[in-house]
Structure 1
Amino acid sequence: MAFKAVGAGYADVAAHFRTLIRDGELAPGAALPSVQEIREQFNVSAKTVSRALSVLKSEGLAIGRGSLGTVVAEQSRVASSGSARLDRLARTGRIYSPGETSTDHEAMFRSCADLKVANALGVELYDEIPIRRRTFIQNGKPVVIGYSYFHPRALTAVPEIMRQGQLKPFWQTTYTERTGLIVSRSPEERGARLASQDELDVFGLDLPRSVAAAVLVLHTAHHDEDGPIEVWEDVYAPGLWQVSGSV
């Protein structure tokens, strides 16, 4: 992928290679271009390149390999978010990163017991709403539990939301086709909380009941012109990162 930018900063350089890595254009073990090649590609200083590569290493995306320079790391501790999957789908036509898939797609009606989700969705706390859940698998291991919380009006236009199993095509595509309304998303909000026992079971973690495990949690709100329509919640296995919504 060619890229040339006058005055690009280290964050631009890091973002470029981060995207290539997460899209599978650069596979684990592949060498990144040399410092000189990156300098020429982006018209930046050696210091800027060094800082960009340090960012990728700190995120677990790349490692130094002596005479080989910087190579793509095995990414067992980094996982995509839902927003990243949509961005990847738009760029490449692929929703999953290399080595990733999903399973256990479930649909249910449940009480919305999370005040943050209720407020973002524009419903009352404990209202019954449609919810979908799935587990994302990376290199054979469960890494993220994804929840979709829907405003009830979404179900009116797309009753397939309550279908068990994976929805194809993406439900928002069907919603736009049927209503003419475009769905947009807000920036991800990051936080943390203690994992529930059910989530620990999904991640295959057998911890004593007296031991608490913290998990990274991302929330992404989706809207159309009539207001909130869906809220995503991505729950990461303990110890996992999510480095950017754009990867």
Structure 2
Amino acid sequence: MAEKRFPEIAAHFRQLIDDGTLRPGDPMPSMTAAAEEFGITVTTVNKAYRMLKAEGLTLAKPGVGTVVAVRPKIASTGASRLRRIARGGKPYASGESSVNHTAELRSCADPDIATQLGVDLHDEIILRTRVFLRDGVPSVVALSAIHPRALGPVPELLSGEPFERFWQEIYTERTGREVTRLPERRGARLAARSELDALGVVAPPSAAVPVLILMNVFLDDEGPLEVWEDVYAPGVWQVDDE
């Protein structure tokens, strides 16, 4: 069974790299030392280290051994952010923050979001937006399209101020309705000009800039409640911080 623990060992060191305990250029523990620490074989450690190298988190440095690689531009996935919130942990990953929070009632002009939210095209919805930063650099534009029925129990949704906790927790407390999340969807599309501006991407007005997106859909017993779409800046890697 010990030989099957290499994903667990890789996850341990991945977390140390993510939270800055192990920084770019730092040497990784020798495989012998790691094997002794976890009570496993060097072979198992080697499998874990190969996984980290394949992810671009470590590299071999002549005369030194395995060291932490310079991190690419990264941003948390929506699913990992939600798991942190659900367990009462930090709302942000290491080095992450958010700015430019907005909230308004708006006509839904996106056919996909209208379908996912269960409303007719151009029906009025609640739209909340914010920009996530990683180490001070814009990495994700997050858009929450919320069914207008949520406004009754949670009128604060139209406040531009960020919630101290996930708004759905407040919704559940006030309505007694549990909210569930569908599996996260991944895709790509062309960025809107407003999204490029928010991400600090300089491009000619006529340029078509593709971006990666993650979509999370939430439901309660009355149907779709929220569609959360994360738009990632070009060149940013999506990572799970867990």
Give the TM-score band, short-chain normalised: 0.7 to 0.9
Computed over aligned residues only, the root mean square deviation of the Cα atoms, in angstroms, reads 2.6
Structure 2: distance between partners of 1:102 and 1:220: 19
1:119 to 107, 115, 119: 115
Change (3 A) 1:159 1:51: same
Q: Give the structure 2 partner of residue 216 of structure 1.
A: 212
Q: Give the structure 1 partner of residue 163 of structure 2.
A: 167
2:53 to 46, 54, 57: 57
1:1-247 counterparts in 2 under 5 A?
6-8=2-4, 10-22=6-18, 24=19, 26-29=21-24, 30-39=26-35, 41=38, 43=40, 46=43, 49-90=45-86, 93-244=89-240, 247=242
8 Å Cα contact 1:76-1:139 kept in structure 2: no
Change (3 A) 1:57 1:155: farther
What letter matches 2:141 in structure 1? I
Shift of 1:68: 4.4
Length-normalised TM-score, structure 2: 0.85
Shift of 1:86: 2.3
What letter matches 1:88 in structure 2? R
Shift of 1:153: 1.7
What letter matches 1:57 in structure 2? K
8 Å Cα contact 1:104-1:165 kept in structure 2: no
Length-normalised TM-score, structure 1: 0.84
Choose 173-182 or 10-19, whichever is displaced more: 10-19
Shift of 1:31: 4.1
Shift of 1:210: 3.9
Write the deviation string for residues 166-207 of structure 1: whole angstroms up to 9, x where unpaired.
122321121121112222222211101111211111122221
Choose 212-221 or 26-35, whichever is displaced more: 26-35
Q: Aligned with 1:157: secondary structure?
A: coil
Change (3 A) 1:71 1:185: farther
Choose 13-22 or 191-200, whichever is displaced more: 13-22
What letter matches 1:223 in structure 2? L
Choose 6-15 or 187-196, whichever is displaced more: 6-15
Change (3 A) 1:200 1:58: farther
Structure 1: distance between partners of 2:238 and 2:130: 17
Percent of aligned pairs with the same amino acid: 46
